[in-house]
Structure 1
Amino acid sequence: MTQNPAVDRDDQGTDLHDPKELRKVLSSTLVGTTVEWYDFFLYGVAAGIIFNKQFFPSEDPVVGTLLSFLTFALGFVARPIGGLIFGHVGDRIGRKKTLVMTMIIMGVATFLMGCLPTYDQIGTLAPILLVVLRLLQGIAIGGEWGGAVLMSVEYAPAGKRSLFGSVPQMGLAVGLTLGTGVFALLGAVMSDAAFNSWGWRITFWLSIVLVVVGLVIRLRVFETPAFRALTQAEERSSLPAKEMVSDPVTRRNLLLGMGARWVEGVAFNTWAVFSIAYASDTLGMERTPILLGVMAAAVFLLVLIPVAGALGDRYTPRLVYAAGCVFAVVAALIAFPMLGTESQVLAIIGIVLALGVLYPFMYGPEAAFFAGLFPVSNRYTGISTVYQFSGIFASGLTPLVLTWLLDQAGGGLQYILGYFVLTGAVSLACTLAIRKRDQFEEDEVRTEVRV
Structure 2
Amino acid sequence: MSSLTVIVPTTGQSAPPRRLAFATFIGTAIEFYDFYLYGIAAALIFPAVFFTELDPVAGTLAALSTFGAAFVARPAGALIFGARGDRYGRKAALVWTLLLTGLATVAIGLLPGYAAIGVAAPVMLTLLRLAQGVGLGGEWAGAALLAAEHAPPGRRGRFAVGTQLGPAAGFILANGAFLLLDRMLGGDAFESWGWRLPFAASMLLVLLGLWTRLRIADAPIYRTAERSASPLRDLLRHQWRQVLLGAGVMIPGYALFYTTTVYFLAYGTRQLGVPRTTMLLVTLAGVAVMGATTAASAILSDRAGRRRTLLVATGLAAVWSAGMPALVGRGTMWWTAVAVVGALAIMGLMYGPKGALLPELFETRYRYSGAALAYNLGGIVGGAITPVVATLLRPETVGWYLSALALVGLLCLRALPDHTAHSLNRDQGVPQVVRAT
1:432 aligns with 2:420: no
Instruction: Name the CA distance, whole Å, in 1 between partners of 2:373 and 2:231.
Output: 11
* Residue in 2 that maps onto 1:346: 335
Percent of counterpart pairs with the same letter?
37
2:119 pairs with 1:131: no
- Bigger CA drift: 44-53 or 324-333? 324-333
Find the counterpart in structure 1 of residue 61 from structure 2: 66
TM-score, normalization by structure 1:
0.90
Matched, 1:209 2:191: no
Whether the aligned pair in 2 keeps the contact of 1:119 and 1:125 (CA below 8 Å) is: yes
Partners in 1 of 2:291 and 2:314 — Cα distance? 19
Aligned to 1:119: 114
Contact in 2 for aligned 1:372/1:439 (Cα 8 Å): no
Partners in 2 of 1:48 and 1:172 — Cα distance? 18
**Paired letter, 2:407:** A
Equivalent of 2:270 in 273, 281, 286 = 281
Aligned position for 1:364: 352
Please say if residues 374 and 440 of structure 1, whose CA atoms lie closer than 8 Å, have aligned partners that are also in contact. Answer: no
Match of 1:30 in 2: 25
Shift of 1:158: 1.3
Shift of 1:104: 0.7
1:147 positional shift: 0.2
Are 1:373 and 1:439, in contact at CA under 8 Å, matched by a contact in 2?
A: no
Matches within 5 A, 1:31-430: 31-230=26-225, 235-247=226-238, 250-355=239-344, 357-406=345-394, 412-413=395-396, 415-430=397-412
Mapped contact 1:8–1:447 kept (Cα < 8 A): no
Does the CA contact (< 8 Å) of 2:42 and 2:63 recur in 1? yes
Could you list the runs of 5+ residues in structure 1 that have no partner in the other structure?
A: 10-14, 407-411
Range with greater deviation from structure 2 (82-91 or 427-436): 427-436
Question: Does the 8 Å CA contact 1:229/1:447 hold for their aligned counterparts?
Answer: no
Range with bigger deviation, 346-355 or 437-446: 437-446
Equivalent residue of 2:14, what SS?
coil
- Where structure 2 has 5 or more consecutive residues not aligned to the other structure, the ranges are 1-7, 432-437
CA distance in 2, matches of 1:270, 1:225: 40
Deviation at 1:435, TM superposition (A): 2.9
| Whole-Å separation in 2 of the counterparts to 1:333 and 1:386 | 26
Measure the CA separation in 1 of the matches of 2:425 and 2:286. 35
SS of residue paired to 1:359? helix
Question: Is this contact kept in 2: 1:373–1:438, CA < 8 A?
Answer: no
For the 8 Å contact 1:155–1:225, the answer to whether it is kept is yes
User: How many residues end up aligned between the 2 structures?
Assistant: 423
In 2, the alpha carbon distance for the partners of 1:336 and 1:150 equals: 36
CA offset at residue 129 of structure 1? 0.8
Deviations 1:80-115 (A, max 9, x none): 000000000000000001101110111110001000
Aligned partner letter, 1:361? L
1:321 and 1:71 mapped to 2: Cα distance? 31
